[in-house]
């Protein structure tokens, strides 16, 4: 197979990339030739992830930084800029989730998820601005179906991801004139991830989720990385302010064949 050179000479910053979907995206950016910097809270996990990403391209830098800490995020972006110059792609995907009813959630439990997902995304995107290639940069947040569909036991995630969707559109309005595009990708249920391990923790629950999806399967990390690569390409240079589902159609409703499923 021909080597992918789409991102040669470009610099990518990926937040929340020590595991899962975001690590898959970082690997894809590296495989396409980019310089990649990744951050997450855990020094140990991010160092191991940086080793993995390095195997796909150039040496990847892993930095321990909590997206709730604006100064730490800003310092990581500054270091990225110092090492590699203007930043072409920023991916904000750090998130936290647990399954709990609103009444089983303390104020701090709710706030923790909103802080990581929504405030963290504001911090990453806001702090990135002065280090971006302008015009030309592509900013992508990772949202979820919970951002526009209410879900039991997910009040914190629904509120946080809905906020990310609106933030994406507001920044697209404000930063579009300067040639900075801001979009979000909304994955459906993705195989081999912490997110689905928490949301569908038994084989029965997993089968139930698959049976309701029009494609009858989980998506893959590669399928999310494909969309992020597309959004960062010239083919997407007029795509701005979009919330793009990569979910097999699960956003269209319940495809289990139960006519009442969407009304019950």
Q: State the binding string over 140-169 for ligand HXC (x if CB under 6 A, else -).
A: ----x-x----------x------------
112 binds, among ligand NAP, ligand HXC, none (CB under 5 to 8 A by kind): ligand HXC
Nearer to ligand NAP, 33 or 168 (CB): 168
Tell which one of 11, 22, 92, 97 touches ligand HXC (CB under 6 A). Answer: 97
Residues that bind ligand NAP (CB under 6 A): 16-22, 40-42, 45-46, 66-68, 93-96, 116, 120, 142, 144, 187, 189-190, 193-196
In angstroms, the Cα distances linking 111 to 37, 50, 117, 126 are 28, 29, 10, 20
Which residues on adjacent β-strands are paired with residue 35?
Answer: 11
**Contacted by 171, from ligand HXC, ligand NAP, none: CB < 5 to 8 Å by type:** none
Q: How far is the CB of 94 from ligand NAP (least distance, A)?
A: 4
Answer with the entry of ligand NAP, ligand HXC, none that 147 interacts with (C-beta below 5 to 8 A by kind).
none
Q: Which residues, numbered 172-211, are part of the site for ligand HXC (CB under 6 A)? A: 189, 194-195, 198-199
Residue number, 50 or 137, with CB nearest to ligand NAP:
50
Q: Which does 232 bind (CB under 5 to 8 A by kind): ligand NAP, ligand HXC, none?
A: none
Nearest Cα residue to 93 out of 150, 25, 188: 25
Which residues touch 252 (CB under 8 Å, ≥6 apart)?
214
Q: Which of ligand HXC, ligand NAP, none is residue 105 near (CB under 5 to 8 Å by kind)?
A: ligand HXC
Tokens 């081999």 sit at which residue? Answer: 192
Closest CA to 39 of 108, 112, 128: 128
State how far Cα 70 lies from the chain centre: 18
Closest CB to ligand NAP among residues 112, 256:
112
* E runs forming strands in the chain: 11-15, 35-40, 61-64, 89-92, 138-142, 181-187, 243-246
CA distance 156 to 1: 44
**Six-digit token string for 19:** 């595991």
> Least distance (Å) from ligand NAP to the CB of residue 104?
20
Tokens of 221: 């990390």
Q: How many residues does the chain have?
A: 264
Contact flag: residue 114 with ligand HXC (CB under 6 A): no
| Pairing of the two strands 61-64 and 181-187 | unpaired
Please report whether residue 108 would count as binding ligand HXC according to CB under 6 A. Answer: yes
> Among ligand NAP, ligand HXC, none, what does residue 182 contact (CB within 5–8 Å per kind)?
none
Is there binding between residue 246 and ligand HXC (CB under 6 A)? Answer: no
CB within 8 Å of 256: residues ≥ 6 apart: 211, 212
Candidates 58, 66, 20; CA nearest to 39 is 66
Going by C-alpha positions, the residue among 130, 124, 234, 134 that lies closest to residue 184 is: 124
**Which residues make up the interface to ligand HXC (CB under 6 A)?**
95-98, 100, 104-106, 108-109, 112-113, 144, 146, 157, 189, 194-195, 198-199
């Amino acid at each position: 197979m021909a080597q992918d050179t789409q991102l040669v000479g470009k610099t990518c910053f990926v937040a929340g990339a020590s595991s899962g979907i975001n690590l898959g995206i970082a690997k894809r950016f590296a495989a396409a030739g980019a310089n990649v910097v990744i951050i997450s809270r855990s020094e140990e996990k991010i160092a191991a992830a940086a080793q993995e990403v390095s195997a796909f391209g150039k040496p990847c830098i892993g930095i321990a930084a909590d997206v709730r800490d604006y100064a730490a995020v800003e310092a990581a972006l500054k270091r990225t800029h110092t090492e590699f110059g203007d930043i072409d792609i920023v991916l904000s995907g750090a998130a936290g989730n647990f399954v709990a009813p609103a009444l089983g959630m303390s104020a701090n439990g709710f706030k923790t998820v909103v802080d990581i997902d929504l405030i963290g995304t504001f911090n990453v995107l806001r702090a990135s601005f002065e280090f971006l290639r302008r015009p030309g940069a592509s900013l992508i947040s990772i949202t979820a179906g919970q951002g526009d569909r209410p879900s039991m036991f997910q009040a914190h995630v629904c509120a946080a991801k809905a906020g990310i969707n609106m933030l994406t559109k507001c920044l697209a309005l404000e930063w579009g004139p300067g040639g900075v595009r801001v979009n979000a990708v909304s994955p459906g249920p993705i195989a081999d991830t912490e997110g689905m391990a928490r949301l569908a923790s038994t084989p029965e629950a997993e089968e139930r989720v698959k049976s309701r999806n029009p494609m009858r399967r989980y998506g893959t990390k590669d399928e999310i990385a494909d969309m992020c690569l597309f959004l960062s390409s010239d083919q997407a240079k007029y795509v701005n302010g979009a919330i793009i589902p990569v979910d097999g159609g699960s956003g269209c409703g319940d495809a289990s064949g139960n006519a009442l499923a969407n009304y019950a």
